[in-house]
Amino acid sequence: MKSFEQLGLSEEVLKVLKHKGFEEPTPIQEKTIPAILTGDKDIVGQAQTGTGKTAAFGLPIIELLQEKAKNVQALVLVPTRELAIQVAEEIYSLKGKKNLSIVPIYGGQAIDLQLRKLRKGVDIVVGTPGRIIDHLKRRTLKVDNISHLVLDEADEMLNMGFLEDVEEILKQTSSEKRTLLFSATMPPEILKISKKYMGEYEVLKVTSGQLTTSQTDQIYFEVGVTDKFEALCRIIDIEEGFFGLIFCRTKIDVDHVASHLTERGYDADALHGDISQNLREKILNRFKKRSVNILVATDVAARGIDVKDITHVINYALPQDPEAYVHRIGRTGRAGKEGIAITFITPSEYRKLQSIKRRAKTDIRKAKLPKVKEIITSKKQRIKVNLEEIIQSNLKNEYLEMSKDLLLKNDPEHVLAALLQQSFAGELDEESYAQIKEGVVDSKGKTRLFVGQGKENGLTNKKLADIIKDKCRISNDKIRDIQILDRFSFVTLPFHEAETVLSYFKTKKRSSGIYITKAKKGKK
């Protein structure tokens, strides 16, 4: 591991880094900073979200640009308005006293303001492709003399359909520029673009997400679809300072979960693509300032967003692929802080989780949902701590006087209990939590079923298999490990088939005389 001093950065920049509190370069910074500073090839840099890719290109670009140039020297393309602002701010904060001007250019902001800034002369433009093209067409921005072009969050830029815009912009840049492409994931399309538009390039990668495995505790809970929301509430409630991002797959789910949380009294906001840019910014700011502590989002809406000290990332629904998983959980456990990533899976998603685990080379361990009793104990504990803090700090006279009045006529224990009851009614009530069924799953994605008949009832291997086959229309090859004991039996089926059998025998229990249920854990 090298230090910033060993990467060839100037005294001025080193001072800034110290001031910002960056102690050492992240792995991707360690690779790209010297490569950009001293090499001359184009660069493709890959590292997961939250690994400091902005500084990985921002720092060397700041070093290489000239002061008092007459033209735009660097163009950074980013997929969203938030990122344009965020990246421009990060670069600005890294430049120190060097005389460089940096402007974010994005749709939604008044074009006049951007024109004024551009006219004054700008060194680094950070912009979204659409608005950059607008300015190129109006000839209010020229990029034919840039020395550096950065494609940041390139995977996301592709996802959002910016390929044509990016190509259009590339055509207007000089052939002498250096191109630096940064991305959290490397789908084949990106390498195709690199081959087509970049000169000789070097790929610098930081794989297997060092941040993920070391800083983020990854667990999963198996819950039925209908129990997910209840499980989510339990997780939020047991934590002392929950500050989390909850991922859903669709906009509809995002709205649904966020509004349910709000109804239940949580401070939650929703973020997805249908929400206007203006509102998105407001929502993000509220979250960053912690006015709300829960943000429910789709992958696209949350990508690239950098919020510090997120305690929990919750995959309310499994992500599409392992890359997205790594991307999502990269939001927590950043820069030395620990975080927890929680994934909900329904029994039928077990296989998908396994494949994510394998391909993302990460360990996701199974955990048990907190019990209602545990949550209530933890809440009580927090209430006590809070009260003690208030007692120590700022008791106001008017309350002290009321307290004296009340104590004249009542027992102190009763007064206090009445106050607690009034303040926390419902919150400490076990009844306010619904029951959750946690499934029984073995490691192969199958369910072991218990059958309430055995040899004594004349049941045999074949008979049991026939009953399952005929009554539930399940093919023979799905039926595994039948075990006939004296008074009961076991059989293993894949999740889906097991559910079919269970629901069949639930309704037909009487007529068939057979009782089937999920086997208790540990019985094989």
Smallest distance, Mg ion to C-beta of residue 52, A: 8
Of the candidate spans 25-33, 100-108, 319-327, 378-386, the one that interacts with ligand ADP by CB under 6 A turns out to be 25-33
Identify the residue among 32, 46, 49, 492 touching ligand ADP (CB under 6 A): 49
The residue among 408, 405, 406, 401 whose CA lies nearest residue 416 is: 406
Q: What gap in Å lies between CA 26 and CA 196, rounded to an integer?
A: 29
Distance from C-alpha of 152 to C-alpha of 183, rounded to nearest angstrom: 6
Minimum gap (Å) between residue 53 Cβ and ligand ADP: 3
Q: Does 519 bind ligand ADP (CB under 6 A)?
A: no
Angle at 462 between CA 456 and CA 468, to 5 degrees: 95
Shorter beta-carbon distance to Mg ion: residue 86 or 298:
86
Best CA proximity match to 370, nearest among 342, 351, 350: 342
In the complex, least distance from residue 312 CB atom to ligand ADP, rounded to whole angstroms: 18
How many Å apart are CA 61 and CA 179, to the nearest integer?
11
Chain positions contacting Mg ion, by CB under 5 A: 53
Say how far apart CA 22 and CA 94 lie, in whole Å.
Answer: 11
Q: Does 55 bind ligand ADP (CB under 6 A)?
A: yes
Nearest CA to 451 out of 502, 497, 384 is that of 502
**Residue 218 touches ligand ADP, criterion: CB under 6 A:** no
Q: Which is nearer to Mg ion, 159 or 517 (CB)?
A: 159
Task: Out of 54, 183, 453, 492, name the contact with ligand ADP by CB under 6 A.
Answer: 54
Stretch that binds ligand ADP, among 46-54, 237-245, 319-327, 499-507 (CB under 6 A): 46-54
Structure-token pair, residue 93: 């904060």
Check residue 51 for interaction with ligand ADP (CB under 6 A): yes
Query: Alpha-carbon Rg of the chain, whole angstroms?
Result: 29
Distance (Å, whole) CA 522 – CA 524: 6
Decide the pairing of beta strands 365-366 and 216-222.
Answer: parallel
53 lines the binding site for ligand ADP (CB under 6 A) = yes
- Tell me which residue has its CB nearest to Mg ion: 53
- State which of residues 16, 22, 271, 272 lies at the interface with ligand ADP (CB under 6 A): 22
- CA-wise closest residue to 447 among 524, 506, 394: 524
What does the alpha-carbon distance between residue 356 and residue 341 come to, in Å, rounded to a whole number?
Answer: 14
Assess 96 for contact with ligand ADP (CB under 6 A). Answer: no
Strands 268-271 and 148-151: unpaired
Strands 244-247 vs 294-297: parallel, antiparallel or unpaired:
parallel
Q: How many CB atoms lie within 10 A of CB 104?
A: 26
Site string for ligand ADP, 375-414 (x = CB under 6 A): ----------------------------------------
Binding-site string for ligand ADP from residue 298 to residue 337, where x marks contact by CB under 6 A and - marks none? --------x----------------------------x--
Name the pairing type of β-strands 102-105 and 244-247.
Answer: unpaired
Give the Cα separation of 214 and 46 in Å (integer).
Answer: 19
Token duo for residue 318: 């499994």
Output 137 or 205, the one with its CB closest to ligand ADP: 205
Tokens matching residue 337: 């802080």
> Which residue, judged by CB position, is nearest to ligand ADP in the bound state?
52
Q: Which of 213, 259, 256, 266 is nearest to 235 (CA)?
A: 266
Residues numbered 115-154 forming contacts with ligand ADP, rule: CB under 6 A: none
The site for ligand ADP, by CB under 6 A, has a size of 15
Least Å from the CB of residue 347 to ligand ADP: 34
Q: C-beta of 197: minimal distance to ligand ADP in Å?
A: 21
Taking the complex as a whole, the smallest distance from the CB of residue 149 to Mg ion amounts, in Å, to 16
- Here the tokens at position 485 are 């004991």
Q: Which is nearer to ligand ADP, 49 or 298 (CB)?
A: 49
| Closer residue to ligand ADP in complex, CB, 25/129 | 25
185 part of the interface to ligand ADP, by CB under 6 A: no
Binding site for ligand ADP (CB under 6 A): 22, 25-26, 29, 47, 49-55, 90, 306, 335
